[in-house]
């Protein structure tokens, strides 16, 4: 039953041409999540209407109620990732809850921020190079990531950027749409030596097992809920510049495929498609990986603590992935220590 003292106020997301903002006033975490999960509120429908981005504020109580954070995450799809079963490095584990990934510079977690930029907050590729969609190196790829600010640095540091890839696709010229519809990008984990810098340096890629190999993904994905087409691509470390980044096009960091990906990244990360989230403790951002890019930004890790919790929702990647086994899980008999994934 919904608590009478709980209030949800929704509206457009200030500073963005997409997304929605939800301000939560509730006496505790359970009441807040109960209200958000009320079927009349239809939080999953609101995510689709907002082109894949919801920004919730007023949820600081969730930091002491991880089970309510998991309960809220479950509203966005049929399955949550259990990071202890997916070769994730233990430094990302939440001490009690297997579905929560902890991204933090606190002792024991030791997750560093991106490098400090030379000027003000860079937004557009290639001034900003860590644009990506989570776990695109997996088939089927995940649906939605929830990111919760437990401890955050000052507001002018550690922002998270989101780009609307539905609007970016729509704004492409007809010739580019015709060129990319039907093409596949080749996505890779960053640590196996297939990113731009790895290939330029000439080192041999890391030998990997079958479940760690790069995978192909459509360059244009049709969202399984809205049906809208959206660009689906990644930054320079999360695509394969040895055999790709685009299947069937000239490979390599300077090939035709790389030029196409860079043109598309430059296009999709123009300020008109981007929202920059300035964190306050208790903010929760729901981002749909099927139709958004996102990027982390620098903060002064020597001075400020930062702790973010992430849950990853999967199970509705759409028709092209129907019936597929999870590509990233090793077959029986392979040691789970064969290759720890860095999140």
* Alpha carbon separation from 123 to 41, 157, 291, 296, 300 (Å, rounded): 33, 13, 18, 10, 18
First CA to last CA across the chain, in angstroms? 37
Compute the least distance from the CB of residue 134 to Fe ion, in Å: 5
Compute the least distance from the CB of residue 293 to Fe ion, in Å: 9
For Fe ion, the nearest residue by Cβ is 134
Compute the least distance from the CB of residue 200 to Fe ion, in Å: 24
Q: What is the chain's length?
A: 343
Q: Judged by CB, which is closer to Fe ion: 97, or 343?
A: 343
Q: Which residues on neighbouring strands pair with residue 147, listed in sequence order?
A: 285, 310
Q: How many residues bind Fe ion (CB under 5 A)?
A: 1
Please give the structure tokens belonging to residue 331: 């077959």
Compute the least distance from the CB of residue 161 to Fe ion, in Å: 11
3-class SS of residue 324: coil
C-alpha dihedral (42, 44, 49, 52), degrees to nearest 10: 150
The H or E element containing residue 57 is strand 53-57
What mask of x and - would describe binding to Fe ion in positions 132 to 171, judged by CB under 5 A?
A: --x-------------------------------------
Q: Which residues on neighbouring strands pair with residue 11, listed in sequence order?
A: 21
Q: Judged by CB, which is closer to Fe ion: 6, or 289?
A: 289
Burial class (CB in 10 A: 0-12, 13-18, 19+), 67: middle
Which residues in 24-53 contact Fe ion (CB under 5 A)?
none
* Cis peptide upstream of residue 126 (ω within 30 degrees of 0): yes
Q: Judged by CB, which is closer to Fe ion: 134, or 240?
A: 134
115-123, 127-135, 158-166, 247-255 -> range binding Fe ion (CB under 5 A)? 127-135
Compute the least distance from the CB of residue 147 to Fe ion, in Å: 8
Residue 68 makes contact with Fe ion by CB under 5 A: no
96-104, 126-134, 135-143, 297-305 -> range binding Fe ion (CB under 5 A)? 126-134
Compute the least distance from the CB of residue 101 to Fe ion, in Å: 10
Q: Judged by CB, which is closer to Fe ion: 34, or 275?
A: 275
* Alpha carbon separation from 281 to 74, 215, 267, 296 (Å, rounded): 22, 36, 32, 16
Residues at the contact surface with Fe ion, assessed by CB under 5 A? 134
């Amino acid at each position: 039953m919904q608590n009478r003292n709980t209030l949800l106020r929704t509206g457009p997301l200030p500073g963005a041409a997409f997304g929605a903002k939800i301000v939560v006033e509730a006496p505790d975490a359970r009441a807040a999540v109960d209200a958000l999960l009320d079927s009349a509120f239809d939080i999953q429908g609101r995510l689709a209407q907002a082109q894949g981005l919801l920004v919730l504020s007023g949820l600081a109580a969730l930091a002491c109620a991880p089970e309510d954070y998991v309960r809220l995450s479950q509203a966005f799809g049929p399955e949550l990732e259990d990071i202890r079963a997916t070769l994730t490095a233990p430094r990302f584990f939440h001490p009690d809850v297997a579905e929560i990934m902890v991204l933090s510079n606190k002792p024991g977690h030791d997750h560093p921020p991106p490098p400090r930029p030379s000027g003000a907050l860079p937004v557009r590729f290639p001034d900003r190079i860590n644009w990506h969609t989570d776990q695109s190196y997996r088939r089927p790829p995940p649906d939605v990531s929830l990111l919760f600010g437990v401890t955050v640095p000052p507001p002018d540091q550690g922002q998270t950027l989101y780009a609307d890839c539905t609007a970016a696709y729509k704004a492409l010229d007809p010739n580019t749409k015709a060129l990319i519809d039907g093409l596949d990008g080749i996505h890779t984990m960053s640590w196996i030596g297939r990113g731009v810098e790895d290939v330029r340096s000439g080192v041999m890629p890391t030998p990997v097992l079958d479940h760690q190999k790069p995978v192909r993904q459509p360059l244009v994905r049709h969202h399984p809920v809205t049906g809208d087409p959206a660009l689906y691509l990644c930054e320079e470390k999360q695509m394969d510049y040895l055999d790709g980044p685009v299947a069937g096009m000239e490979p390599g960091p300077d090939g035709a495929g790389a030029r196409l990906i860079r043109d598309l990244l430059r296009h999709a990360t123009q300020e008109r498609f981007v929202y920059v989230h300035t964190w306050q403790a208790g903010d929760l951002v729901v981002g749909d990986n099927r139709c958004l890019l996102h990027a982390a930004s620098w903060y002064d890790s020597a001075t400020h603590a930062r702790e973010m919790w992430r849950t990853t929702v999967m199970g509705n990647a759409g028709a092209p992935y129907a019936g597929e086994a999870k590509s990233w899980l090793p077959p029986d008999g392979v040691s789970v220590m064969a290759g720890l994934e860095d999140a």
